[in-house]
Structure 1
Amino acid sequence: MKLGVVVQRYGADINGGAELHARYIAERLSRTHEVEVLTTCARDYVTWRNEFPEGQERIGPVAVRRFPVSRERDPEEFGRRSFQVFETPHALVDELAWLDSEGPTSPALIAHIRQHASTFDYLFFFSYRYHHAYHGIRAAADRAILVPTAERDPAIGLALFPPVFRGVRAIMYNSHEEQAMIRAVSGNDAVPGVVVGVGSDIPSQSAAERFRRAYDIRGPFVLYVGRIDENKGCRELFQFFQQYLFTSQRPLQLVLAGKALLPIPDHPLIRHVGFISDQDKFDALAGCEALIMPSFYESLSMVAIEAWAMGKPVLANARCDVLQGQCLRSNAGLFYADYREFAETLRIVTSNRSLALALGENGRRYYLDNYAWPVIDAKYHRMLDTLKASPPPTGTIEPLPGWFARRRGTLPPASEVLARVPDGPAPRPAATGARTRPEGPPRGGSSRGPRRRRPGQGRPAPARQGR
Structure 2
Amino acid sequence: DVGHISNAFHFASASETTDTKPEQLFAPFLREVRLFPSDPLSDEVMSTTVERLWKVLMAERRALGRLGAATMPTSCLLGGWYDVEIHDGVTQRWSSEQGEIHVAQDVSALRVSGWHAGSFDMDVQIDDEPPTRVTLRDNFLFELALSLGRSQIVSLRLRTNRGSVQDPRDLGFLLKKLEVLPGRQGVWRTVPLDQGFDTLWRQVDSSAWIDALATVTDQRPEPAEEAFLTVRGPRSSALVEYVRASVGRYDVVLVQGIPFSLTVDVMRAVRDAGVPLVLLPHYHVDDAFYHWRQYYESFAKANAVLSFSNWVSEHFFAKRGINAPVIAGGGIDPSEYLARGTQLERFRDFRGSDRPYFLVLGRKTASKGYRTIIEAHQQLVVSRGGDVDLVLIGPDEDRQPVEGRDVHYYGRLSRELMLGALAGCVGLVTMSTSESFGIVIVEAWMSGRPVIANRRCLSFGELVEDGEDGILVGTTDELIAAMRTLLENPARAGAMGDAGHRKAMEKYTWSAAARRFHDILTEVLDGGAEGARAGALVSA
Same fold (TM over 0.5): yes
**What amino acid sits opposite 1:117 in the alignment?**
V
Report the counterpart of residue 80 of structure 1 in structure 2: 51
- Report the CA distance between 1:73 and its aligned residue: 8.0
Query: Conserved in 2, the CA contact under 8 Å of 1:86 and 1:154?
Result: no
Q: Which runs of structure 2 are paired with 1:38-187 in the superposition (5 Å)?
A: 40-46=1-7, 47-52=13-18, 56-61=22-27, 62=30, 63-72=32-41, 76=47, 80-88=51-59, 90-141=220-271, 142-151=275-284, 152-183=286-317, 186-187=320-321
* Residues 187 and 83 of structure 1, relative CA distance in 2, 3 Å threshold: farther
- For 2:515 and 2:475, the matched residues in 1 are separated by 39
Q: How many residues align?
A: 356
Query: Conserved in 2, the CA contact under 8 Å of 1:172 and 1:195?
Result: yes
- Report the CA distance between 1:79 and its aligned residue: 5.0
**Which of 1 and 2 has greater Rg?**
2
Report the counterpart of residue 190 of structure 2 in structure 1: none
Query: Conserved in 1, the CA contact under 8 Å of 2:326 and 2:537?
Result: no
- Report the CA distance between 1:339 and its aligned residue: 1.2
* Residues 299 and 155 of structure 1, relative CA distance in 2, 3 Å threshold: same
Q: Is the partner of 2:279 in helix, strand or coil? A: strand
Q: Which runs of structure 2 are paired with 1:43-442 in the superposition (5 Å)?
A: 43-46=4-7, 47-52=13-18, 56-61=22-27, 62=30, 63-72=32-41, 76=47, 80-88=51-59, 90-141=220-271, 142-151=275-284, 152-183=286-317, 186-188=320-322, 191=323, 193-201=325-333, 202-207=336-341, 208-249=344-385, 251-260=387-396, 261-328=398-465, 331-390=468-527
* Residues 330 and 109 of structure 1, relative CA distance in 2, 3 Å threshold: farther
- For 1:67 and 1:285, the matched residues in 2 are separated by 37
Q: Is the partner of 1:195 in helix, strand or coil? A: coil
Deviations 1:288-334 (A, max 9, x none): 01001121121112111111112211111222111122113893111
* Residues 73 and 320 of structure 1, relative CA distance in 2, 3 Å threshold: farther
* Residues 227 and 73 of structure 1, relative CA distance in 2, 3 Å threshold: farther
- For 1:359 and 1:54, the matched residues in 2 are separated by 42
Unaligned runs of 5+ in 1: 1-39, 394-428, 433-467
**What amino acid sits opposite 1:234 in the alignment?**
Y
- Report the CA distance between 1:65 and its aligned residue: 1.4
- For 2:238 and 2:227, the matched residues in 1 are separated by 18
Query: Conserved in 2, the CA contact under 8 Å of 1:231 and 1:295?
Result: yes
Q: Is the partner of 1:49 in helix, strand or coil? A: strand
- Report the CA distance between 1:192 and its aligned residue: 5.5
The percent identity for this pair of structures is 24
* Residues 430 and 70 of structure 1, relative CA distance in 2, 3 Å threshold: closer
Q: Is the partner of 1:71 in helix, strand or coil? A: coil
- For 1:224 and 1:380, the matched residues in 2 are separated by 30
- Say what the alpha-carbon RMSD is for the aligned residues: 2.7
Unaligned runs of 5+ in 2: 8-12, 61-219, 531-535
TM-score (norm 2): 0.61
- For 2:373 and 2:48, the matched residues in 1 are separated by 30
- Report the CA distance between 1:44 and its aligned residue: 2.8
**What amino acid sits opposite 1:216 in the alignment?**
G
- Report the CA distance between 1:174 and its aligned residue: 2.2
* Residues 237 and 349 of structure 1, relative CA distance in 2, 3 Å threshold: same
Report the counterpart of residue 23 of structure 1 in structure 2: none
Of structures 1 and 2, the one with the larger relative CO (CA 8 A, separation 6+) is: 1
Range moving further from structure 2, 309-318 or 67-76: 67-76
- Report the CA distance between 1:150 and its aligned residue: 0.8
Report the counterpart of residue 21 of structure 1 in structure 2: none
- For 1:135 and 1:108, the matched residues in 2 are separated by 11
**What amino acid sits opposite 1:375 in the alignment?**
A
**What amino acid sits opposite 1:157 in the alignment?**
H
Q: Is the partner of 1:274 in helix, strand or coil? A: coil
* Residues 86 and 181 of structure 1, relative CA distance in 2, 3 Å threshold: farther
- Report the CA distance between 1:42 and its aligned residue: 4.2
* Residues 210 and 156 of structure 1, relative CA distance in 2, 3 Å threshold: closer
**What amino acid sits opposite 2:282 in the alignment?**
T
- Report the CA distance between 1:99 and its aligned residue: 2.1
**What amino acid sits opposite 2:283 in the alignment?**
A
- For 1:192 and 1:266, the matched residues in 2 are separated by 43
Report the counterpart of residue 28 of structure 1 in structure 2: none
Query: Conserved in 1, the CA contact under 8 Å of 2:50 and 2:231?
Result: no
- For 2:313 and 2:47, the matched residues in 1 are separated by 32
* Residues 44 and 315 of structure 1, relative CA distance in 2, 3 Å threshold: same
- For 2:464 and 2:529, the matched residues in 1 are separated by 39
- For 2:420 and 2:401, the matched residues in 1 are separated by 22
* Residues 45 and 65 of structure 1, relative CA distance in 2, 3 Å threshold: farther
- For 1:291 and 1:77, the matched residues in 2 are separated by 42
Deviations 1:33-85 (A, max 9, x none): xxxxxxx4342333543512598435141332122221358575575355344
Query: Conserved in 1, the CA contact under 8 Å of 2:253 and 2:278?
Result: yes
